[in-house]
């Protein structure tokens, strides 16, 4: 066996999918209320930021903490720039 932690992987994947879904559902609700669907372009960047933050939180205790923080910060900055 490889020793790969499938439970942690599945938990991270579910958390990331949940974060992306939450951002997209909130965007859909706002779009319906305002009648403007082009705001989805803003949501893509916010979705990346949300996924990065959730993944960072769920990966606590695994890997190098400095590297995890740097990757998270860079991804959040990039996502906010897109938004």
Query: pTM value?
Result: 0.87
* pLDDT tens figures, 30-77: 999 999 988 888 899 999 999 999 999 999 888 899 999 999 999 999
Q: Is residue 61 part of a domain?
A: yes
Domain that holds residue 52: 6-82
**Cα–Cα distance, 68 to 74 (Å, whole number):** 10
> What is the tally of structural domains in the chain?
1
Q: Is residue 46 part of a domain?
A: yes
* pLDDT tens figures, 4-27: 889 889 999 999 999 999 999 999
Position 1 pLDDT exceeds 80: no
Cβ(47)–Cβ(19) below 8 Å? yes
Q: Is residue 1 part of a domain?
A: no
What 3-state DSSP class applies to 25? helix
Q: Is residue 44 part of a domain?
A: yes
């Amino acid at each position: 066996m490889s020793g790969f932690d499938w439970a942690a992987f599945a938990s991270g994947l579910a958390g990331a999918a949940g974060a992306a879904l939450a951002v997209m559902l909130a965007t859909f609700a706002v779009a319906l209320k305002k009648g403007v669907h082009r705001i989805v372009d803003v949501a893509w960047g916010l979705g990346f930021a949300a996924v990065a933050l959730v993944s960072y939180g769920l990966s606590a205790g695994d890997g190098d903490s400095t590297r995890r923080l740097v990757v998270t910060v860079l991804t959040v900055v990039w996502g906010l720039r897109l938004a």
